[in-house]
Chains A and B, each alone.
Chain A
């Protein structure tokens, strides 16, 4: 069953003009003028089936949030069609709200001055959640996300990770069919990230909740989303499996090797088809290599031939890098 269906969805925004001069700013008290427009989303199309977990990724300003805002019904598209849970979102915003849950990592739907539990109770009335469902969902979240210790703390005093766990609980109180997550792990520590990811997998498994997730964190995608969509400049550039994407565009990991002293310059000769010495800076060498054909210890042992290794660190390719490479057109987009 298709939960989200999008056809040629487009959104342009007018750009405001700042009037100059005293008269201009007096006039701006009463009206604003516009100059030109900006195309945030350029006619995208996709389908998401029930129970899918889809990563929606792209650099800042790529059009991710705009898409999500249209799919929640807050924004009306300039043109195109979409249905979410069988409804046209911007025509039935309030009805749709009962079927979706939304978490924006940078914002909160909780009330700053209220204790977390008070906020959750308010949402219970707002979404008309029956008492037994509320208790059940609250207990589940308390157990899996460890809410107990800060349930009675005012939201303004919560740490980012605690607040995010609270927001996630809030978004799921009414058993939504679809969950939109915008950067749910941004700024969180490893423990909080892991808790949230486990919770989401469990939710998806147990309830078949459809999840659309935007993130900068490749680990989020890796652990949660079998399918990803890459968007940039308002266009979908890739729609498919994660492993496929990595193989094609994000396959290179970087090994940073610190030698005891400057390594033999001949180290640059290591460069071949699946390995590249990117830079040598004093005693530090940065080596990029293909994750599928080479292992890190292998690269390390090869580098060891050129000097005495003191330290090393391994960097996984991040999604920004993948998209940058994709956008630079090193490998043709499209599947």
Chain B
């Protein structure tokens, strides 16, 4: 009983924290009519998709938060002795649904967005929405893994990765074309956050890409994400190898 109520409390707290983001969105559109030519409903669509993908990705990889302390305390050895892949072991060492609050909020924002924008629904559009969120979950899981990978080598400066995890999910909440070239290249081609929200949203809204990419470009999302995940998996294995050879 005590456990369950504390659990509900955490979700409530998580919901509260993320209220600020949503509040800021509405307040911006209270003063302004559009953001880079997009309406409140359209930007809310990006917000909702990003929040859902991020919270799911975060919840599924909570275990990654514990890799650094486990390495320091020596408990990581135990993770390696289990009969599963080291990554699965690390991930499953802790299950925590604390970001359920953000997930709920993501769904609320998405629902709000659907009431504001006209989407000409079709089977492919539904598949696109689901596919985009799944791509996003995979991408954020990989990003949280990156944070853990660094901790195999150093305890210093790991928080720079926050710029890509939290920064990536924040960035995905806004239309990609408002950002400068550097951020665009980074978040389209290297950490393909743009394929979690922006390109799928263009497709759902039947908008042409202001940046001039053809319609089929969105289909590259899973490919680039797969490449990114592959690199992360390679990095993870390097990290494990490093840990095994140095023990620290």
Q: Do A's and B's CB atoms come within 8 Å in the complex?
A: yes
Q: Which of B2-10, B38-46, B239-247 contacts A (4 or more CB under 8 A)?
A: B2-10
Q: 19 A–B contact pairs at CB < 8 A?
A: A18-B2, A20-B1, A20-B2, A20-B5, A21-B1, A21-B5, A22-B4, A22-B5, A22-B8, A22-B9, A24-B5, A25-B2, A25-B5, A25-B6, A25-B8, A25-B9, A26-B9, A26-B12, A29-B9
Interface residues in chain A, defined as those with a beta carbon under 8 Å from any beta carbon in chain B: 18, 20-22, 24-26, 29
Q: How far is the CA of A25 from the CA of B12 in the complex (A)?
A: 12
Residue of A nearest to B12 (CB): A26
A22 vs B5: C-alpha distance when bound (angstroms): 4
A22-B4, A24-B5 provided; 8 other pairs, C-beta below 8 A?
A: A20-B2, A21-B1, A21-B5, A22-B5, A22-B8, A25-B2, A25-B6, A26-B12
Residue of A nearest to B8 (CB): A22
**Which chain B residues border A18 with CB–CB below 8 Å?**
2
A residues less than 8 Å from B6 (CB atoms): 25
Chain B residues lying within 8 Å of A25, measured Cβ to Cβ, are: 2, 5-6, 8-9
For the complex of A and B, 10 pairs with smallest distance between CB atoms? A25-B5, A22-B5, A22-B8, A20-B1, A25-B9, A21-B5, A25-B6, A18-B2, A20-B2, A24-B5
Min CB gap A113→B, angstroms: 16
Q: Considering only CB atoms, which chain A residue lies closest to B9 in the complex? A: A25
Seen from chain B, the residues whose Cβ lies within 8 Å of a Cβ on chain A are 1-2, 4-6, 8-9, 12
Q: Contacts of B5 on A, CB cut-off 8 Å?
A: 20-22, 24-25
Q: Considering residues B5, B6, B8, B12, which has the most beta carbons from chain A within 10 angstroms of its beta carbon?
A: B5
Q: How far is the CB of A22 from chain B (nearest CB, A)?
A: 4
Minimum CB–CB distance for B45 against chain A, Å: 32
In whole angstroms, how far apart are the Cα atoms of A312 and B4 in the complex? 56
A29 to B5, CA, bound (A): 12
CB-CB under 8 A from B12, the residues of chain A are 26
In the complex, what's the smallest C-beta–C-beta distance from B89 to chain A, in angstroms?
31
Contacts of A26 in B (CB 8 A): 9, 12
Write the chain A residue with the least CB distance to B13. Answer: A29
Contact partners of B2 in chain A: CB under 8 A: 18, 20, 25
Q: How far is the CB of A16 from chain B (nearest CB, A)?
A: 13
Residues of A within 8 A of B4 (CB): 22
Pick from A18, A21, A25, A26 the residue with the most CB of B within 10 Å: A25
A24 to B12, CA, bound (A): 14
CA distance A47 to B120 in the complex (A): 89
B residues near A29, Cβ cutoff 8 Å = 9
Of all chain B residues, which has the CB nearest A25? B5
Complexed CA–CA distance, A21 and B1 (Å): 6
CA distance A20 to B12 in the complex (A): 17
- Point out the residues of chain A lying under 8 angstroms from B8, CB to CB: 22, 25
Which of A21, A22, A29 is packed against the most chain B CB atoms within 10 Å? A22
Q: How far is the CA of A245 from the CA of B214 in the complex (A)?
A: 93
In the complex, what distance in Å separates the CA atom of A22 from the CA atom of B2? 8
When C-beta atoms are compared, the residue in chain B nearest to A24 turns out to be B5
Distance between A250 CB and nearest chain B CB, rounded to angstroms: 40
